[in-house]
Chains A and B, each alone.
Chain A
């Protein structure tokens, strides 16, 4: 078995196979989890780039309010009309772009990439299954996701433009903006949520039911555990947001007042609604999803990092069980911390104490995971290849993101920091140089399995160092701006509260703080440049990259490396049998420094 899969890539024998189904059923309406995983990856990466472009335009507006956007300004003016007259971004357009940046990044880019792509492609193979438990449902999840994305994109072009009330869509603001963007947003979200629900049902069922013989729970790769937990979060936290979405849709379309309080005035006039609703209800339902959602963003990333680190240190992960239990703990507690996003809503002290306590407790398992991964490096013979570089950078970056969360978790300090750029800095450190770096690590790491070719190491390094540098240059200054009191979501970059506008008043933002906006703009442009090597490397390597020397080019232990390259329909040549844990690297007494999970004892 070992010799067979190790000897030579099985390209020719298995590439002919999918052709039996014809083009459409092989690549578009495929029910093969690997094809669906790749579909997710391509779509999500496209959205990631699109969301980044939105933000680049916004950073220009923040740094140089009222100046036409270079290069794309005239295009925007031509396509979107008045909101971008003369290529200048109007405050309305700024709000739309901001709301859609957040929505696209969270719901259309990172989650589909982390769970949709990595979960779909890797989980069945890592557990030795031939596909997901419900292949047709899997195809439907992708299609619903795609449709949700199309609806979101369409909303840019309707009169009044896309949703403007932030990715958090707080009512009554979201409901009372008179354009249809919010309606599109809500309908799009219903599609995306349904897609996530079907996807998570599928992943969980697959892990529970289709594990290969011998693959007991404590032999699962940590990545599988991470996906398992993340899927549970999606499964149980998303429905209340679906509820909230339906209620807000009713407010928008049927004239109900679920989130509209009595006596609501819009534009100085009493609104023509029955009232009696509660704006806080929206926030509860929203954050009941959105806090677990941030762990959906981070758990698969931790899973990927664990795989990359174990393989590239050539030693077992330190504290595998601690990792698993910590992931489960995170999953559980993340349902009970949501109102730390609501300290400033006039919350009572008892409930604030409760949520501060749970918030502090949830940082413990995060720290345990980070510590285990860090200690795993100790004494390893580390291979500094591109995936490993990204994985190593993930550790401190996520560390900064997590530590800066603590002051936000205490209501006393959060009163100062809430809704400032500090919060933006905090969660971007977790998601951008954190999760996105992990996803890059994953792409470089599994690319050879998926395509049979390596991505270029040289350009991978250029990509890595550029990204690491510019990510920090972008997000580090935001902590300073935030602590100085600069609010988020200001279309003029807070100039109106600075000494540039209001002179002689203490407490205004200094011109240094405002000046950081220029700095961040150029750092963001640099980050764009740093992504070009990646994009070219990615497409070029699909056809021209260096061919893999074997089915297991990194000499890894988990099951996905014990398949032909790329894995054929059905994944394994014969049903695998598992004999050992996931990270048997450098086990004494074996000829090689790795023992695949399906290698029989002896």
Chain B
């Protein structure tokens, strides 16, 4: 990336604060969702985690520049994601598939 001009810097700063606003909003959304008057606990947890995923998505996409990364990085992360899901999914599936469960 080339150098930033001072005007561009101010522009960039504004964008940063916008992202911060969005992150703060989803944080409050997360907290709010956890108090939602819904009887089913699983639904509440689902909502909270959905807000967390959005929040994390903002951090990844904008702060870590994942929106405009290179293929090399994407490839590494894609494999990592698969193995992450494999580790979590299969070990928990194994737990539920246990005859005594």
Contact = CB atoms under 8 A, between A and B. Distances in A.
A/B: CB atoms within 8 Å of each other: yes
Interface of A: 208, 232, 236-237, 240, 278, 280-281, 284-285, 288, 332, 335-336, 339, 342, 346-351, 354
A347 B98 contact: yes
A336 B87 CA distance: 8
B53 to A, nearest CB: 21
Nearest to B94: A351
Given A232-B79, A236-B80, A284-B91, A208 B97 contact: no
A460 to B, nearest CB: 40
Contacts of A347: 94, 97-98
Given A236-B80, A348-B98, 11 more contacts: A240-B87, A280-B94, A284-B87, A284-B91, A288-B91, A335-B83, A339-B90, A347-B98, A348-B97, A349-B97, A351-B90
A284 B100 CA distance: 18
Given A288-B87, A346-B99, A236 B94 contact: no
B32 interface: no
Contacts of B97: 347-351
Contacts of A351: 90, 93-94, 97
B94 A339 contact: yes
A109 B83 CA distance: 27
Given A232-B79, A348-B99, A284 B94 contact: yes
Give the 9 A-B CB pairs with smallest separation, nearest first.
A348-B97, A284-B91, A351-B97, A351-B94, A335-B83, A350-B97, A236-B83, A336-B86, A288-B87
Interface of B: 72, 79-80, 82-83, 86-87, 90-91, 93-100
Contacts of A237: 83
Max chain B C-beta neighbours (<10 A), residue from A278, A336, A347, A351: A351
Contacts of B99: 346, 348
A350 B82 CA distance: 21
Contacts of B83: 236-237, 335
A336 B86 CA distance: 7
6 contacts: A284-B94, A288-B91, A336-B86, A339-B94, A346-B100, A350-B93
Contacts of A339: 90, 94
A47 to B, nearest CB: 29
A281 B87 CA distance: 11
B95 A280 contact: yes
A349 B99 CA distance: 9
A197 B34 CA distance: 37
Contacts of A232: 79
A236 B86 contact: no
Nearest to A338: B90
A354 B90 contact: yes
A288 B97 CA distance: 18
Given A236-B79, A236-B80, A280-B95, A336 B90 contact: yes
Nearest to A237: B83
Max chain A C-beta neighbours (<10 A), residue from B72, B83, B95: B83
A469 to B, nearest CB: 41
A336 B100 CA distance: 24
Nearest to B98: A348
A208 B72 contact: yes
A596 B95 CA distance: 54
Contacts of A284: 87, 91, 94
A351 B87 CA distance: 13
A348 B94 contact: yes
B86 A346 contact: no
A360 B93 CA distance: 20
A372 to B, nearest CB: 24
Contacts of B100: 346
Nearest to B101: A348
B58 to A, nearest CB: 25
Nearest to A350: B97
A462 B88 CA distance: 50
